[in-house]
A = this chain, B = another copy of it.
Amino acid sequence: MTSSEVQPGAHMAAEIAEQPAVLAGLVERRAELAAVAGAIAQRPPRFALLAARGSSDHAALYAKYLIEVLLGLPAGLVSPSTVTLYGARPDLRDVLLVSVSQSGGSPDLVEFTETARKQGALTVAVSNTEGSPLNQAAELAVDIGAGAEQAVAATKTYSATLLALYLLVDAVRGGDAADARTIGELAQRTLDGSADGVQRAVDRYRFVDRILTTGRGYSYATALESSLKLAETSYLAARAYSGADLLHGPVAAIDEDTAVLAVTSAGRGGAAMHDVLDAVAERGADVLAVGSAAGDVPAALRIPIPESAEELAPVLEVLPVQRVALGLALARGGDPDRPRGLNKVTKTR
C-alpha cells in the first residue's frame, strides 16, 4: 500500500502507538548518550544555548529547565536570526550549544550551529536523522532513533527527543537514568489508560474554535506542544501560556466559553498550577486537566496519567494530547498526516 492509499491519520495513529517501544529502546541505548555526555564533561561548559524550531523548540525549552535545575548552568534559547539575518558573531567559548531538530535539515539551524562551532561553542546535534546536515555541522551528535516519521505532525520524535535530552542531561550530572528505566512501560499505561478520556475530549472539542493551554515548570513544554499539535492538525486557534504569564494579562480573555487544557502533574510545577486554575475556574472556563495530578484541580474533564519523576512527566503528558489532536482532526474531516500547507522540513533562513 503506498502512502497515498492509507487511511487519513493512519501514520499519526501508528506513530503515537509506537512510542512506548521507541522510548524503551532509547533507554536501552543510554550508553551511547552517556558517551556524548562524557565528551561534554571533558569540556565543562559555563553556559548552555539551545537552538530549535517548531515542536523541537518545545523540547529545547524542556531541556533548558533540565540544564538550569539539574546542572546549575544558565541557559537560553537561541534566536537563530541574530546570526542568520543580522550576522551576529557572539563569543561562544565555554558555551554548550544543543541544536534540536528531528530532520536535522533546517538550514537556519545548520548555519547557526556551524557559526557557533567556529565561535568556540561545543556543539551537539540532537536529531532523528543520522548523517543529517545538522549532525555534520555539530561536533557531537545524539541520535534519538525513533525511526522514520511519516506523519507531518511530530509525535514519536517529540517524546523521544524529550527523553534523549533528559538522558543526556542526567548522564552529564553523573546519573544512571534510574528514574527513566520504566518510561516505556509508563508510556504504554498512559496510552492504554487514557482512551476513554481522549474520546470524551474529542467529543467535547468537536466544535471548539479556540483553546488555551497552560502549564508550569517542566510541563510548560507540554502546554506549548499541545497548543501547536492542536493548531497544526485541527486548525484551532490554540495558544499556550505558562501558568505565571497567564495571570499577567491573558486571563482577562477567559470566560465561560473558553476551553482550557491545563497540564498538571505531581511535583512543584503542578502544585504551582493550583492558583492559576482557581483563577481560571472563577471565570467559569471549561477545563480539561491532563497529568498525574489532574484529579487535584477543578476541571470539567480529566485525563489522568501514571505518576513519574516530575522531570519525566512531559514525556508522558503529551501522549493523550496527541491522540486528542488526531481524533479531533479526523472528526472534523481532516487528515492529520498531511495538514494543508505543511511540509516535514521547513526551509526557513
A→B interface (CB under 8 Å):
46-47, 49, 53-55, 57, 61, 64-65, 68-69, 72-77, 79-82, 85-92, 94-95, 108, 209-210, 216-217, 220, 228, 231-232, 235-239, 242-245, 247-255, 268-269, 272, 279, 283, 339-342, 346, 348-349
- Within the complex, what minimum Cβ distance (angstroms) separates A74 from chain B? 5
Q: From A121, which residue of chain B is reached at the shortest CB distance?
A: B74
Chain copies in the assembled complex? 2
Chain B residues near A77 (CB-CB < 8 A) = 76-77
Given the complex of chains A and B, what is the CA–CA distance between A228 and B241 in angstroms? 11
Contact B232 A342 (CB under 8 A): no
- Within the complex, what minimum Cβ distance (angstroms) separates A337 from chain B? 12
Contact A89 B72 (CB under 8 A): yes
Contact A49 B65 (CB under 8 A): no
Contact B68 A82 (CB under 8 A): yes
Contact B236 A239 (CB under 8 A): no
Given the complex of chains A and B, what is the CA–CA distance between A77 and B78 in angstroms? 10
Known: A75-B76, A232-B252, A342-B251. A82 touches B69 (CB 8 A): yes
Known: A81-B244, A250-B232, A252-B339. A74 touches B86 (CB 8 A): no
Chain B residues near A72 (CB-CB < 8 A) = 88-91
Contact B244 A348 (CB under 8 A): yes
Q: From A245, which residue of chain B is reached at the shortest CB distance?
A: B53
Chain B residues near A85 (CB-CB < 8 A) = 216-217, 268-269, 272
Chain B residues near A86 (CB-CB < 8 A) = 65, 68-69, 217, 268
Contact A272 B232 (CB under 8 A): no
Chain B residues near A55 (CB-CB < 8 A) = 249
Q: From A56, which residue of chain B is reached at the shortest CB distance?
A: B248
Q: From A154, which residue of chain B is reached at the shortest CB distance?
A: B249
